[in-house]
Amino acid sequence: MFEREYIIAEAEEKMEERLQKLISAAGLCSRRASEGLIAAGRVTVNGISAALGQRADPERDDIRVDGAPLPAPAERVCLMLHKPRGYVSTARDQFGRPCVADLVRGAGRRLYPVGRLDYDSEGLLLMTDDGALAQALTHPSHRVDKVYRVRVAGNADDALPVLRGPMELDGRTVRAGAVTLLRPEELEITIHEGRNRQVRRMCEMAGLRVLRLVRVAEGPLRLGALPPGQWRPLTADERRALDSIAASKSKKP
């Protein structure tokens, strides 16, 4: 009997989550903002003010924010956008420039870019409202491959040894994962980090001027024939692959 009670208790414990995670998953606000709600006494569990770090089971407990029941977790949206030139990778821009969020309004949800592509760059940009997934994918420990096709002016063949060697950017040593000469004026460059304008700056340090830069792949995702300015939902296989990357981070100390 004691063994059975232990198993039941263990199963119930596995269904509990920290309140800030449950509030964020319900789409009310971010985890950090959720902590503020809890600290301000605006969250209750079974009629009692919640405490930071408290865990609860939404199936068993009555969780309320400002007296309103916690809604069911919102289904997260994740899609691939082919960002064109002339757009900034933000939800809105203080200078009034076009934003990538404008291109995905048809998704019916407020979405945010995962990582960045600069104003003059094009290509694959992941857009989502899943903050946990975005945080996991941009975590530096993951070293997610990002592949770029770069059209350049200058002697690309002579630049190869420089591009393939270690470089210093912002006081840190970086190194391309791979550099391939596709044709005299076009390179394919793979990087793991995502430092500001990294590929452009690497090319400049190698004596090349970037004429066009397109991200064609990121991790398990491939841009393919998706036209500029258009987007598509991720396939089930693509989403599972991203979730697997995110899960691998959560297991690291």
Written in H, E and C, the secondary structure of the chain is CHHHHHHHHHHHHHHCEEHHHHHHHCCCCCHHHHHHHHHCCCEEECCEECCCCCEECCCCCCEEECCEECCCCCCCCEEEEEECCCCECCCCCCCCCCEHHHHCHHHCCCCEECCCCCCCCEEEEEEECCHHHHHHHCCHHHCCCEEEEEEEECCHHHHHHHHHCCEEECCEEECCCEEEEEECCEEEEEECCCCCCHHHHHHHHCCCEEEEEEEEEECCEECCCCCCCCEEECCHHHHHHHHHHHHHHHCCC
Question: Rounded to the nearest 10 degrees, how much is the dihedral formed by the CA atoms of 142, 167, 183, 87?
Answer: 60
Supply the pLDDT for residue 11. Answer: 35
Mean pLDDT of 112-121: 91
Domain ranges of the chain: 2-69, 78-140+222-250, 145-218
Instruction: Please indicate whether residue 61 is annotated as part of the active site.
Output: no
- Higher-confidence residue: 119 or 134? 119
pLDDT confidence band for 142 (50 / 70 / 90): low
* Active-site residue, selected from the candidate residues 57, 93, 118, 129: 118
Superfamily of domain 145-218: Alpha-L RNA-binding motif (3.30.70.1560)
Name the pLDDT band for 15 (thresholds 50, 70, 90): low
Same fold, 2-69 and 78-140+222-250: no
Fold adopted by 78-140+222-250? Alpha-Beta Plaits (3.30.70)
pLDDT, mean of residues 42-62: 92
Q: Which CATH class is domain 2-69?
A: alpha beta
Output the pLDDT for position 206: 96
Mean pLDDT computed over 153-164:
96
pLDDT of residue 57: 86
pLDDT of amino acid 157:
94
State the pLDDT confidence band at 248, using cuts at 50, 70 and 90. confident
- Least confident range of 48-57, 66-75, 85-94, 152-161: 66-75
Give the mean pLDDT of 117-127: 96
Average pLDDT over residues 203-227: 96
Q: How confident is the model at residue 35 (pLDDT cuts 50, 70, 90)?
A: very high
pLDDT at 76: 80
pTM of the model: 0.72
